């Protein structure tokens, strides 16, 4: 079997996505120890809480040894080329995982590595988060086929990966973003072609959440965009997820946030910490979906 990478959700088929979600709800020990005797390189150019912690535990549950390394130590293309890092680490590890500023870096790692490469967040995608997002929504709501999912806020890495996975599972995702911060028409067309679901832009948050079974948001200022923070706070005025906005969603709707969350900015504390919030469940599911993804890449199937 040739090695598989996971740089974005589109690296797996709809059937493979289903397999990974099924593996995620199995007892950890039933997946065996596919990383037995192997390392897992976990390289972080940006801070992390959930991703680092859940990946270290997932690797250990699969019998492997996680090696956490800060980006400052590796210094891609400064201390040595990305390709030299990939070829060297592939001799120690069963999998190379990286959180990077530029998506091209994980693409170059994957091209040079003989072992699977996993994107733990880039400027364009956060596919590990999307796996936990759909796992959580399925636990809460059941099948997502035909369901309406709302995204209120920035069309960022998390929003893009969530759109990909939602359309693949037959859901209808609606994005409400300020002008200049939403998906392009080409991006919506690309998303819509990924599966039986649909992806659309709407002008107002109210139009996105109406009838939705899940309302998602994320920070308005992603890591690496700190210099834009003041302009973004101004541009996103009116796009906070409030209790009033949630009252227009389906009565069973859940609130979802990948975290870290900024209360009083993209979400009110009453929503983030209220009964509709599924954010902590999402965070916990990062462990289960990551373990499933790593097992899948190491060849574990049903």
Contact call for residues 87 and 113 (beta carbons, < 8 A): yes
119 is a site residue for ligand NVA (CB under 6 A): no
Near ligand NVA by CB under 6 A: residue from 5, 56, 164, 218: 218
Structure tokens at 302: 């049903």
Q: Which residue is nearest to ligand CP (CB)?
A: 51
Catalytic residue at 97?
Answer: no
Residue 288 interacting with ligand CP (CB under 6 A): no
- Whether 129 is a known active-site residue: answer yes
Rounded to whole angstroms, the Cα distance separating 79 from 72 reads: 9
Cβ contacts of 41 within 8 Å, gap of 6 or more? 67, 69, 89, 92, 93, 95, 96, 97, 98
Site string for ligand NVA, 141-170 (x = CB under 6 A): ---------------xxx------------
With respect to ligand CP, which residue has the nearer C-beta, 121 or 297?
Answer: 121
Q: Quick one: what does residue 156 bind among ligand CP, ligand NVA, none, with the CB cut-off 5 to 8 Å set by partner type?
A: ligand NVA
Relative orientation angle of helices 279-297 and 14-24, to the nearest 10 degrees = 110
Q: Which of 42, 50, 86, 285 binds ligand CP (CB under 6 A)?
A: 50
- Pick the binder of ligand CP from 258, 271, 297, 298 (CB under 6 A): 258
State yes or no: residue 160 binds ligand CP (CB under 6 A).
no
Give me the residues paired with residue 70 across strands: 44
Tell which one of 166, 219, 289, 290 touches ligand NVA (CB under 6 A).
219
> Which CB sits closer to ligand NVA, 113 or 285?
285
Instruction: Decide: is 61 part of the binding site for ligand NVA (CB under 6 A).
Output: no
* Contacting residues for 161 by C-beta, under 8 A, at least 6 apart: 8, 9, 125, 126, 127, 129, 130
Contact 6, 292 (CB under 8 A): no
Q: Give yes or no for residue 49 binding ligand CP (CB under 6 A).
A: yes
Q: How many CA atoms lie within 13 A of 57 on its CB side?
A: 13
Active-site amino acid positions: 99, 126, 129, 218, 258, 286
């Amino acid at each position: 079997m040739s090695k598989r990478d996971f740089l974005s959700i589109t690296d797996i088929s709809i059937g493979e996505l289903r397999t990974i979600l099924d593996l995620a709800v199995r007892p950890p020990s039933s997946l065996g120890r596919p990383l037995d005797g192997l390392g897992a390189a976990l390289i972080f150019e940006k801070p992390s809480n959930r991703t680092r912690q859940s990946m270290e535990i997932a690797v250990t549950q699969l019998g492997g040894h996680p090696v956490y390394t800060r980006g400052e130590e590796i210094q891609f293309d400064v201390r040595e080329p990305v390709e030299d890092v990939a070829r060297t680490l592939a001799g120690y590890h069963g999998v190379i995982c990286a959180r990077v500023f530029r998506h091209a870096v994980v693409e170059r790692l994957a091209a040079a590595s003989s072992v699977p490469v996993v994107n733990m967040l880039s400027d364009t995608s956060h596919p590990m988060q999307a796996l936990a997002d759909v796992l959580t929504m399925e636990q809460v709501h059941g099948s997502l086929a035909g369901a309406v999912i709302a995204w209120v806020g920035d069309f960022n890495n998390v929003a893009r990966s969530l759109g990909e996975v939602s359309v693949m599972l037959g859901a209808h995702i609606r994005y409400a973003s300020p002008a200049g911060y939403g998906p392009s028409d080409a991006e919506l067309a690309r998303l819509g072609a990924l599966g039986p679901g649909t992806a659309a832009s709407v002008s107002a948050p109210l139009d996105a959440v109406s009838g939705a079974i899940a309302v998602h948001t994320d920070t308005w200022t992603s890591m690496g965009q700190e210099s834009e923070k003041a302009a973004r706070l101004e541009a996103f005025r009116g796009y906070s997820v409030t209790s009033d906005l949630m009252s227009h969603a389906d009565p069973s709707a859940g609130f979802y946030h990948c975290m870290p969350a900024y209360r009083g900015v993209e979400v009110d504390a009453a929503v983030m910490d209220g009964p509709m919030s599924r954010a902590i469940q999402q965070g916990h599911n990062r462990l289960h979906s990551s373990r499933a993804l790593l097992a899948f890449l190491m060849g574990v199937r049903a």
